[in-house]
Amino acid sequence: MRKKVPNLMVALVVPLLASCSLFGGSDSSSDSSAVSSVSSSVSSSTDSGSASSSSSENVEAVTIEAYYPFSASVFTKYLGEGNEYASFTVYPQYIEGNRMQITSNNGGTQVVTVLELADGELREVFTRPETYFRENMLEKTASGDAANQLDILLKEPLEVGNSWVNASGVPSEITNLTAQIETPMGNFEALEVTTTYEASTTKDYYVKDMGLVKRVTDLGDDMVVSSSLEARNEDVPETQQLRVFYPDSELMGLNATSIVLSYTTNDITRTILAEALKNVPDAPGGSLIGPNVSINSLSLSDDGRVYVDFSQEFVSEMNAGTSAESLILQGVVNTIGEYYGVQEVYLTVAGNPYESGHILMAEGAYFTVDYTKVNE
């Protein structure tokens, strides 16, 4: 079961996640050479009678994409100082169009945030704390009090003095374009964003073609909390532990084993989960469901239940008596319910209530996670 964490811990990780960029570019992007934010060239002509040939300055437009690339399958790790939850990891779960969903884990809680790049702003549009399962939330947008806690991370033009007010009323401002920053991964020249709260000040540092490299929060009284880029690894998956429940060899109860789920950016959870249930090495026969079974849909509903629809092969390939079928169903329900952290699972087959030669579920009837038959 998932452990609950204090609200203070969630409050610590949410603002950290607000600046957790995904880093794109090649490995050479971690080089400590200076990164210039604006380049210009000046051309002149001796012909002063023509406006087109007069002296002019061409400024290269620097966009948010340069400082916050939406990069897939990049695992990043930050080293924290001054607070036990200042260290954290970040992974991009989904990217589509101008939105990206990232997940951050600081060892105490895991938070999902959806970012949107639009109208010259990079802003948070949705966040969900204590989210240990993986589900595409790119279409979600917060409203009401939840929306008032979301921030704008960057706003164009990217120049010193440009400022904005976040939904909470807290002001942010670009205060430096060439800040010299030290991190465990190297030294960088960064764009600095300063956010001023009532009792503290936070500075976020972004490097061109890399993203966030450091965050420093001054709490006053010589108390400083920082998170600095320690490692970044490209083309690696996000991994999760899935506890799978399966019938024991005597068909008297359920055993449990752990399987590692491996996702890259934009991988579909229902597909990964179905493959995992087909490959349970410790289970009799090496699987919990048949080889041709697929999951048609899988989602956590606002009513607190998980809704899962299996293909018809879930029943046709089961080939089990009443006792075995009951245990298989309970194993599947326990596995999915525990993964999502819920107690109720509405399981259907090809869009219809579960039905076999032994078990018939009524329309709207759901299964309940139950550990009473799990072997110690």
Residue 7 dihedral angles phi and psi, to the nearest 5°: -60, -35
- Residue 10: per-residue pLDDT: 44
Q: Pairing state of beta strands 306-310 and 344-349?
A: parallel
- Residue 375: per-residue pLDDT: 96
- Residue 320: per-residue pLDDT: 84
Q: What is the mean pLDDT of the segment spanning 111-129? A: 98
Q: What is the mean pLDDT of the segment spanning 110-118? A: 98
Note if the bond before 157 is cis, omega within 30 degrees.
yes
Q: State the Cα–Cα distance between residues 205 and 180, nearest whole angstrom.
A: 9
Confidence class for position 338, pLDDT limits 50, 70, 90: very high
Burial readout 31-67 (b: 16 or more C-beta within 10 A, e: otherwise): eeeebebeeeeeeeeeeeeeeeeeeeeeeeebebebb
Q: Is pLDDT at 126 greater than 60 in this prediction? A: yes
Confidence class for position 319, pLDDT limits 50, 70, 90: confident
- Residue 30: per-residue pLDDT: 36
Assign 3-state DSSP to the chain and report helix, strand, coil percentages, each to 5: 15, 40, 45
Q: Which two tokens stand for residue 59?
A: 């400024």
Q: State the Cα–Cα distance between residues 68 and 74, nearest whole angstrom.
A: 13
Q: What is the mean pLDDT of the segment spanning 211-216? A: 96
Which of these, 352, 162, 335, 172, lies nearest to 257 by C-alpha position?
335
A 10 A CB-CB count for 371 gives: 12
Q: State the Cα–Cα distance between residues 164 and 123, nearest whole angstrom.
A: 12
Q: Which two tokens stand for residue 187?
A: 């030294």
Q: State the Cα–Cα distance between residues 34 and 40, nearest whole angstrom.
A: 16
Residue 87: what residue type?
Answer: S
Q: Is pLDDT at 266 greater than 50 in this prediction? A: yes
Helices and strands per DSSP (H, E), number in the chain: 6, 21
Q: Which two tokens stand for residue 102?
A: 């990232």
Q: Is pLDDT at 71 greater than 70 in this prediction? A: yes
Beta bridge partners of 124: 115
Confidence class for position 60, pLDDT limits 50, 70, 90: low
Q: What is the mean pLDDT of the segment spanning 13-17? A: 48
145 contacts: CB under 8 Å, gap ≥ 6: none
Q: What is the mean pLDDT of the segment spanning 133-152? A: 96
Q: Pairing state of beta strands 254-263 and 238-247?
A: antiparallel
A 10 A CB-CB count for 364 gives: 7
Q: Which two tokens stand for residue 109?
A: 């809680």
Q: Which two tokens stand for residue 30?
A: 């971690």
Which of these, 86, 113, 85, lies nearest to 5 by C-alpha position?
85
User: How many CA atoms, within 13 angstroms, populate the side-chain half-sphere of residue 177?
Assistant: 12
Q: State the Cα–Cα distance between residues 122 and 155, nearest whole angstrom.
A: 6
| pLDDT tens figures, 27-44 | 333 333 333 333 333 333
| pLDDT tens figures, 227-264 | 999 999 999 999 999 999 999 999 999 999 999 999 99
Distances (CA, A) of 332 to 129, 277, 293, 325, 362: 26, 8, 13, 11, 18
